[in-house]
Structure 1
Amino acid sequence: MTNAEIALSRLLDEASVRDTVARFADAATRGDIDRFRATWATDAEWMIGERVHAVGVDDIVSTYQKLREGRDFFVQFAVQGPIEISGDEATTSIICHEAARGPGETYYRNHCVTVDRLKRSENGWVFTSRSFQYLWLDTSAFTGDAFELPAGF
């Protein structure tokens, strides 16, 4: 491989990792279970602070459904951090902001950082491990109206 081919391959891998992060945030925001599931390896692990730990894609999806159930809305904004690629494995870190309301009068806003491990699969890059660590968490009431999201693409 030439240096240009190596650089192009790296850029394509980085773009694919970024796409996985974006697809995760979009699926989580839209509540799209199938797209959410597609971002995970079969034997993946998901942790959120000290409260959530799920192992295996079925447990991860079930945990996500429980966390999402009854929400008037949920939104995740993800800011891509550095990406390190070594063969068919990658690591990255994301800075996130999330907000949600419901069920009832429950509220949730946070800033967190993720520590992510991914692997190359036949369908692109998928998470083998995602760990969300809170930097700030607020469960106090906030105002505003929730609107239905338009259909995804």
Structure 2
Amino acid sequence: MNDFQQIADRVEIEALRCEFTDAVMMRDRARLAALFTPDGVLRMPDVPVEFTGREEIRTGGERLQSQWDFFVQNSHPGTIRIDGDTASGRTYMQEIARLLDGRSGQNFAVYHDTYRRTPQGWKFAERVYEVRYVDTTPLAGSAPGPDAPAPGSAGPGDARRAPGAGAAEASAAGAPVDFAAPAPAERLDRAVAALRANGFTAELLDDAAAARARVKDLIPQGASVFTGASETLRLSGIAEDIETGDRYEAIRPRVLKLDRATEFDRIRRLVATPDVFVASVAAVTETGSLVIASGSGSQLPASAGGAARAIWVVGAQKVVPDLAAALRRVEEHALVLETARARAVYGQPSAVNRLLVLNAEPRPGRGTVLLLREAIGF
């Protein structure tokens, strides 16, 4: 093979490797898969995953990329050795990433490659990803958005703040946060994406009226339905829709007629295993977790898995960056408002005696979160 062909092959292989990084960064899974031969293999033993064939590479890449909040990959040229219609080489990687569950870090890695000449040009026959260094220290930066510091803005310790730098940093620092303010659109979108990645069915709706209509669509006529005590359900009219009329077998009105001293066991069974449980939550994190607080704990079994289906209606002000912020919201905001309500109705304060965190839904289709763009409830 002449020197010109060697040069041309090297240029084409280097372009192939650059195309891989671009397809990853642009989340173009179809293009990524097309860079491999039909029987090509992508191995990542340290993850660990292995995809064989273009379809597995495409769908596998989609599953991995659906977990990202953001991801940046920088590739650096390594060696290329050509042997006729096959070749081998290495590419050096530096990557930073944050997942939707909040984990983040950076790593340095090597791709060990085998290339094959095809009628469509050089393709990857095999690409093996070897991690050489991992640092899981939480990243201080963020993807650009309403909550991210503006480029060149004040750093840690500087009293100046960039416009839009908000809940995530304030929560981490323990500073006051307006837990009654609706989250902006980008944060709502992140929460919905994270909930879906964690197995929940999540829908973003405009307002309480839309949620009220959607709940009617989701609950089959004749179902036994337990409604958790919730200002969101009361203010939206959802509680009234379920607890009056004869469309459903409403459990709460039945329970209120039973004697708690002599019929406690019957009450316990009724509220723990309904066909459908409808309620709200104290907070939903941008990493896709639901946080539910309770004084008695009577509503928690249905949420945790006792109900065949669960529907949570959540106002936009309940979206917080992470679990730490969620717990602060429970103590500093929701409990304060619920205590005021409990004193007026029952003559005594409320308390957070039980706390449930739902990080994922192991039975896809069971749990539905209706996240609103407006604030409602506590």
| Alignment TM class, shorter chain as reference | 0.7 to 0.9
Structure 2 equivalent of residue 40 of structure 1: 36
Structure 2 equivalent of residue 31 of structure 1: 27
Does residue 105 of structure 1 match 2:106?
no
Cα-to-partner distance string for 1:81-112 (whole Å, 9 max, x where unaligned): 11111111110011111111121312142101
How far apart are the structure 1 equivalents of 2:94 and 2:82?
A: 25
Q: Which has the higher contact order (CA 8 A, sep 6+)?
A: 1
- Runs of 4+ more than 2 Å apart: none
Question: Identity percentage over the alignment?
Answer: 27
Cα-to-partner distance string for 1:28-56 (whole Å, 9 max, x where unaligned): 01101222122111101111134111111
Task: Report the structure, 1 or 2, having the larger helix content.
Answer: 2
Flag structure 1 segments of 5+ consecutive residues without an equivalent.
149-153
After TM superposition, list the pairs within 5 Å mapping 1:78-97 onto structure 2: 78-97=75-94
How far apart are the structure 2 equivalents of 1:74 and 1:39?
A: 20
How far apart are the structure 2 equivalents of 1:123 and 1:129?
A: 17
SS in structure 2 at match of 1:15: helix
What is the letter of the counterpart of residue 6 of structure 2? R
Structure 1 equivalent of residue 128 of structure 2: 131
Return the TM-score normalized by structure 2: 0.37
The one of 91, 94, 116 equivalent to 2:113 is: 116
How far apart are the structure 2 equivalents of 1:87 and 1:13?
A: 10
The one of 17, 36, 51 equivalent to 1:54 is: 51
Structure 1 equivalent of residue 18 of structure 2: 22
Flag structure 2 segments of 5+ consecutive residues without an equivalent.
146-378
Task: Report the structure, 1 or 2, having the larger strand content.
Answer: 1
CA contact (8 A) 2:38 2:54 kept: yes
Cα-to-partner distance string for 1:49-96 (whole Å, 9 max, x where unaligned): 341111111111111111110412112111111111111111001111
Could you say which structure has the larger radius of gyration? Answer: 2
CA RMSD of aligned residues (A): 1.6
How far apart are the structure 2 equivalents of 1:65 and 1:140?
A: 25
Return the TM-score normalized by structure 1: 0.87
Q: How far off is 1:17 after superposition?
A: 0.3
